[in-house]
Structure 1
Amino acid sequence: MKRTINLVLIGLLLFSAGNLFSQETKIMVRAQAKDAKFIGTSMGGAKIIIRDVETGKILDEGLTKGITGDTEVILLSPRERYKEITTEKTAGYEASLKLDKPTFVSIEAQGPMSKKQAKVVSSTQLWVIPGKDITGDGIILEIPGFVVDVLSPQTHETISAGTEIEIRANIVMMCGCPVTEEGTWDASGYEIKALISSEGKEHKEINLNSTDKASTFSETVKLVEGDYEIEVYAYDPKTGNTGLDRVNIIVN
């Protein structure tokens, strides 16, 4: 009888010890645009994938949702140690992991999801301990770059030789924040150009200038007959941020 009781007690202890490790663990993951704010609902979010490094198994995945955050707090105020720069409304994805032992994981952010030509992948690795949540600002992954969209000319558009062609592009930060003259993201500090090439016949490089519409840049050019590729890029020499979009047209 005594032996039976002891075995039951040992079983209960082992069961309890197992439960100590088999716990739900929450991790807040955020994707922050380099030199800007957080990627959230307005840009289709950033896809978050958490994997067990040893097995490759996906432990959780989802999209960041929420607002881009407070410009003053994120960018303009002096940073203090341990002071959070996010709120409950700031874009993020709260992952929930079921772990029975400490696990070395990789955390990946892909974004922004609404702009495939601009999507960037950023990742990190860390140990996650069962029951030890990582909340608040959480894990912040930096997403570098600009989102560049060529608005004009259109893909595979046919244009008469010698006519003025408007090259027009929309350029924003990876969080969707506007690029404007003398704004928080000052267009005058960026290099925004169109590279034009045609089967070795002609190569041009022209500057695009700000327009009356925020984040929109434009210039006109005349081209001789040929098949052209137009690449529009943005470059910030202060941060190294870059972005590019391309379009192909026919001039005849």
Structure 2
Amino acid sequence: MPVHSLRRLFAACLLFLTASASVYAAAVPTEVTVRVRSHDAKFIGSGVGGLQLRIEDAVTGALLDSGMVTGGTGDTARLMKTPQSRGDALADDKTAHYTSTLMLEAPTQIRIRVTGPLDVPAAIQNLSLTTWVVPGKDITGDGLVLHLPGLIVDAMKLGMQEDTLPLVADITLMCGCPITDGGLWDSADYEVQARIVGPDGAVATRDLAFSGEANRFQGSYKPEAPGLYAVTIWAHNANTGNTGAATYSVHATD
């Protein structure tokens, strides 16, 4: 083959390889929407402080994006009352979410980590999943929905009232959805109890009853001796398995 022909062939191959490399190296913007739904309830968002979100490369651990899951809890009738068929949309633009725009050069396995809800420290949980994302293939609409079990138990650290320790806690679903008498989340479905450990290590328990006010359960305990008492208030729904707890300490005096 003549030298000039070889040169033209070499130049053509080089041009092809360069073009191919530029095509494969170009990062493509790819949207991924993430939502978090409370088990047996609605979406988790701004009403309970939102959730912190991180998206990482599942192989290298490199941080690809981070942000906050914020927004509303969604439509109660659609989520909790209306029968749903496959493909039905559960969320809209106002429903709590975070949409990330990832710049991807190749199919990538990502790890999504969420932490929250952030308003009540005792209720904060961590949740993660891994999935593949392909450049240019958006995951939007309802997006990726993570499900978070549990209950928010917001125990009130009240001091002694005369010789009695009040035991009071506000309890909601992880989305902040209310527990009421005969409501969608019926107070009768929730068992709430306090576990009290005295200064001598002795353990006592007291049931907390629904107060009549949304979310609030209350009871009392009369310490037998002065000293430091450790109190754990827990709540449980036997129908769904949702459970939560909060712990605090209080001094009892003579």
Establish whether TM, by shorter chain, passes 0.5. Answer: yes
CA displacement at 1:8 relative to structure 2: 7.0
Contact (CA 8 Å) 1:111, 1:143: kept in 2 or not?
no
The code of the aligned residue for 1:14 comes to S
Residue in 1 aligned with 2:23? 17
Query: In the TM superposition, what is the alpha-carbon distance from 1:212 to its structure 2 partner?
Result: 3.3
Cα distance in 2 for residues equivalent to 1:183 and 1:15: 61
> In terms of Rg, which structure is larger?
2
- What letter corresponds to residue 194 of structure 2 in structure 1? A
1:53 corresponds in structure 2 to 58
Aligned with residue 136 of structure 1, among 135, 141, 144: 141
After superposition, what is the alpha-carbon deviation per residue over 1:47-93, rounded to whole angstroms, capped at 9, x for unaligned? 11111111010111111111010111112211210111000100000
Q: Tell me what 2:4 maps to.
A: none
| 1:32 CA displacement | 0.8
- Residue 108 of structure 1 corresponds to which residue in structure 2? 113
**Contact between 1:120 and 1:144, CA under 8 Å: does it hold in 2?**
no
Residue identity opposite 2:108 in structure 1: T
The equivalent residue for 1:33 is 38
1: CA distance between counterparts of 2:200 and 2:149? 32
Match of 2:194 in 1: 194
Is the partner of 1:90 in helix, strand or coil? coil
8 Å contact kept, 1:224–1:251: no
TM-score by length of 2: 0.90
1:99 alignment partner in structure 2: 104
User: In structure 2, what is the Cα distance between the partners aligned to 1:110 and 1:76?
Assistant: 28
1:71-220 mapped onto 2 (5 Å cutoff):
71-153=76-158, 157=159, 159=160, 163-220=163-220
Give 1:9 deviation, angstroms: 4.5
Secondary structure of 2:142's counterpart equals: strand
Partner of 1:243: 244
Query: When the two structures are aligned, how many residues end up with a matched partner?
Result: 246
The amino acid that maps onto 1:17 is V
Distance 2:149 2:249 in 1: 26
Superposition misfits of 4+ residues, deviation over 4 angstroms: 1-5
**2:111 is aligned with what amino acid?**
S
What letter corresponds to residue 113 of structure 2 in structure 1?
E
Can you give the 5+ residue segments of structure 2 that lack an aligned partner in the other structure? 1-6
In structure 1, C-alpha distance between the alignment counterparts of 2:40 and 2:113, rounded to whole Å: 19
- Measure, in 2, the Cα distance between the counterparts of 1:200 and 1:140: 47
Distance 1:250 1:169 in 2: 18
Tell whether the 8 Å contact from 2:180 to 2:212 is kept in structure 1 after alignment: no
Report percent identity of matched pairs: 34
Q: How far apart, CA to CA, are the structure 1 residues paired with 2:113 and 2:240?
A: 22
Q: Aligned Cα RMSD in Å?
A: 1.9
Residue 181 of structure 2 contacts residue 212 of structure 2 at CA under 8 Å; is this kept in 1? no
Partner Cα distance (2:81, 2:101) in 1: 32
Q: CA deviation at 1:17?
A: 2.4
Residues 86-113 of structure 1: per-residue CA shift (max 9 Å, x gap): 0010000001111101111111221102
The gaps in structure 1 that reach 5 residues or longer are none
Q: Is the 8 A contact 1:147 1:173 kept in 2?
A: yes
Which of the numbers 37, 44, 48 marks the counterpart of 2:49? 44
**2:75 alignment partner AA:** D
The superposition leaves residues 149-204 of structure 1 with CA deviations (integer Å, 9 ceiling, x where unpaired) of 11142xxx4x47x7122111111111111111111111101111111111445322
